[in-house]
Amino acid sequence: MLNLKKLTQVLGELEEDEVMDLLNDFILTNPSEAEALEAVAACQAGMSIVGEQFEQGEYFVGDLIFAGELLTEAMIALKPALGSNSQGSSGKILLGTVHGDLHDIGKNIFKSMSEAAGFEVVDLGIDVAPDEFVVQAKKLNPEIIGMSGVLTLALDAMKETAEALKAAGVPSKIIIGGNPVTKEASEFIGDSNCKCNIQCS
């Protein structure tokens, strides 16, 4: 059985070999999707430790970059347990990290989870301008538009993007996610359809 606390700890300590050994052994046990999601949450808790260490001046930007690469590697290892056979059958999601924000680890996790749930996901990448969301939404006509952002400043970009989509008459449901996304943030962004972060912090 995967030791989730240990996984969080070694990810927070950026011990790449230990993280990957734990995950590779775990995948060999053919875990269920629910167990794999627990592993994702444990990795995410490890990233919170990295963030705290950065705030306290113990880690530097280079450590953040390394943490990002490590989490991406961890998610690739977990992907087989998060997979799905029914891709696209639940609908289409247009996804991107909003303008000014270059963080994409959370977005990529959300993408993997959505694909596992049977959605087709069109990923616009990072630093996506409001106009680009509008152009692609008109072209692809997705049921859902997902905006991701981790910086506090991303909330302004989400608001701007939601307003641009509304002004252009795009009918898709908008969902938002990322660390600064709270119920209050959803209200600030101004769309009662906005759902808070899947962790609902």
With residue 183 as reference, give the H or E element that holds it.
helix 183-189
Residue 152 contacts ligand B12 per CB under 6 A: yes
| Spatial separation of the C-alpha atoms in residues 176 and 196, rounded to whole Å | 6
Site string for ligand B12, 12-51 (x = CB under 6 A): --------------------------------x--xx-xx
Task: Name the residue nearer to ligand B12 (CB basis): 42 or 150.
Answer: 150
Task: Name the residue nearer to ligand B12 (CB basis): 22 or 157.
Answer: 157
Residue 82 contacts ligand B12 per CB under 6 A: no
Among 17, 28, 61, 192, binds ligand B12 (CB under 6 A): 61
The H-assigned helical ranges of 122-169 are: 130-140, 154-167
Dihedral angle over CA of 19, 152, 198, 192, nearest 10: -170
Among 123, 172, 178, 189, binds ligand B12 (CB under 6 A): 178
DSSP state of 103: -
Burial of 196 (0-12, 13-18, 19+ CB in 10 A): middle
Binding residues (CB under 6 A) for ligand B12: these are: 44, 47-48, 50-51, 54-55, 61, 64-65, 67-68, 100-107, 109-110, 146, 148, 150-152, 175-179, 197-199
